Amino acid sequence: MTKYLVIVESPTKEKTLKKILGSNYTIKSSRGHLIDLPKTKLGIDVENNFRPEYVVIPKQRRALKELEKNTKGKERVFLATDPDREGEAIAWHIAQKLKVNEGKNRVIFNEITERAVSQAFKNPREINLNMVNSQKARRLLDRLVGYKISPLLWKKIGKKLSAGRVQSVTLRLICDREEEIGKFKIEEYWTINASFKKIEDEKAEPFEAKLFSVNSKKATIKTKKEATEICEEVKNQNIYVKSINKKKESKNPQPSFTTSTLQQDAYNKLNFPIKKTMFVAQQLYEGITLGNKGNIGLITYMRTDSIRVSDEAKSEAKKYIEEHYGKDFAKSSQNLKKGKNKIKNVKIQDAHESIRPSYVFNHPESIKKYLTNDQYKLYSLIWQRFIASRMKAAYLEKITIDIESGRYIFRTFGYRILFKGYMILSGQNNQDLNKIPDLEEKDELKLLKIKANQSFTKPPPRYTEASLVKRLEKEGIGRPSTYVPTISTLQYRTYVEKVDKKFRPTELGITVNSFLIQYFSDIVNIAFTAKMEKQLDEIESDKKKWENVLDIFYRAFSNDLKKGNKAPKIKIPEIESDEICDKCGRKMLIKNGRFGKFLACSGFPICKNTKPFLDKIGISCPEEGCSGEIIRKKTKKGRTFYGCSNYPKCSFVTWNKPVDKKCPQCNHILVLSKNKKSGFYYKCSNPACDYKDFIKGHKK
């Protein structure tokens, strides 16, 4: 019989830890929380100092019995749940249930490697009750908001609605942005670009510059007439180089990833939804089988808002950089200087490290064959960001050239690399940067071409997953572990929908948001929500008592509940469609459901007829003999695709948006696609045809 029992959260860790710890240890997982508040009632005794009524989660009863069984006969039980507040709370609940809450039995490690795990088991500690209390306060706050406001929404607006402390303020951000877009006034403006060449040198290459100022003031051109007059005036003037300014600049690498910056980068560079990013990161953290090496955790813990790096990891990175790039490129192993916290009202949870490779010599290419494509992509992103963060800054020379033509100044600029620093990782060199012509001050120039371009001001963009996470982090709303469930809930409740990967509030979402603003202004107040996060941090650092935080919150909250209960019932605006109900002849209404829009009879509840909503894009199905139309559809995961309205009789389907154009090579329909470097282009929907046509003026 083994001597020790180790309890972890996830079953996938069992195999990895078993190999590290050896035959004296039995590894069992709790599979997440075992204890929680009851689902069927509030579960908080508000009158008795907010005492929680904890119960065993029904589906976890078997897991708890298994742990109790494995505890028998063990010399010691170690609690190795995740190293965050949730993990600490899980450890505390298990300790209470298994009666192993005495002594030092809590072990934490930020990476699942032999050195980190061995070190953790040599230095176990007691359960941190301040962390437990902080998690308790968060859970009780969320339960009070959810279980008190949600029934009000059912009564005043409609069934199956919900509110949440972080969820509702996130909805407000999306609704506020939509309101900004609606109020935005589009204005016309013009820019002028010119192409020049040095007169004295026939071999000189032409270069472009942009109109920068007029009469020493920044150029602001509002009409075509004004732009045309400027172009004509420049054509008839002498042109020469007014000034050449050179300035040396350093370009620092970004720090290694936090949860939010990983989510943003993976979204922007890999097109990973944040839920997918966290799922793949979990796999990399818990362990990947690397041939004869067995199961190894490839990255540190993926829920963190710290950029701290251990001294051991710094030394390892320094060694790798010196061996592969040279001593000149390695940063000192000293700690990073602590800068100001850019996130409002948030104490950085510095107990964790940033997200980094657990062993930098596991180069992505050297282990690629053991990884799935998604694992390889995300690991490569993490590995490269960490190595870059441990390299010296790049030094550049910025060259700015001003060109004078009467009262007009045109400007062009570029860079020259003096020292590559971390930029060596991406292989950048001077050829990749904007080329600067070989010019001197007072050189005469010849105007080759001048062109005025019409543009229009654009409203602020709707939030993508990445930009929404960035805003939540900036405002101090939520924590790394809350971003995914918050965004998922907003979509599940159909408060928001995705249009071209951007969030747009539905009529239901706008209605709920308006109600909450009117009756629960604190709950949807950005500053108030961020302040609550700060207080949770202060509970963890023992500066505040969790009972006091809840008491102060609930006094104001209970008054808002009384006002909300007196609110009149709200009717959600109904959107009529052109469809007629084939059962009763009434108009069909466009409604929002869990998987998107659908049609429902306006005669409900007398007539309960529903039909799929066909989101037509105005293009006929290209399949020969088919009379259907192309419609926009969504997968269960929310990804947009295009198919025929006659499905399943017609199987035409494409991920790219079809356009009303035919391929000149094979006569199939064209679809719109996008290349990061070249912009939008048309390509043939026929996989066997390689036709492409790039669209001018639509570069990214």
Q: Which residues are catalytic?
A: 301
Using alpha carbons, select from 138, 133, 29, 129 the residue that is nearest to residue 81.
29
Contact predicate 529/170, CB 8 Å: no
Task: Count other C-beta atoms under 10 Å from residue 107's C-beta.
Answer: 21
Using alpha carbons, select from 359, 252, 353, 254 the residue that is nearest to residue 307.
353
Structure tokens at 86: 């949730």
Structure tokens at 462: 């709707």
Using alpha carbons, select from 683, 684, 655 the residue that is nearest to residue 668.
684
Question: What is the H or E stretch that residue 541 is in?
Answer: none
Count H helices, E strands: the chain?
16, 30
Task: Count other C-beta atoms under 10 Å from residue 330's C-beta.
Answer: 20
Burial of 110 (0-12, 13-18, 19+ CB in 10 A): buried
Burial of 63 (0-12, 13-18, 19+ CB in 10 A): middle
What Rg value do the Cα atoms of the chain yield, rounded?
A: 30
Mark out the alpha helices in 184-223 (DSSP H runs): none
The CA distance from 166 to 137, in Å, is: 14
**Rounded to the nearest 5 degrees, what angle is found at the Cα of 318, between the Cα atoms of 314 and 319?**
120
Name, in order, each residue with C-beta under 8 angstroms of 236's C-beta and a sequence gap of 6 or more.
Answer: none
- Residue-wise over 646-682: b if at least 16 C-beta within 10 A, else e? beeebebeeebbbeeeebeeeebbbbeeeeeeeeebb
The CA distance from 249 to 396, in Å, is: 5
> Phi and psi (nearest 5°) for 552?
-65, -45
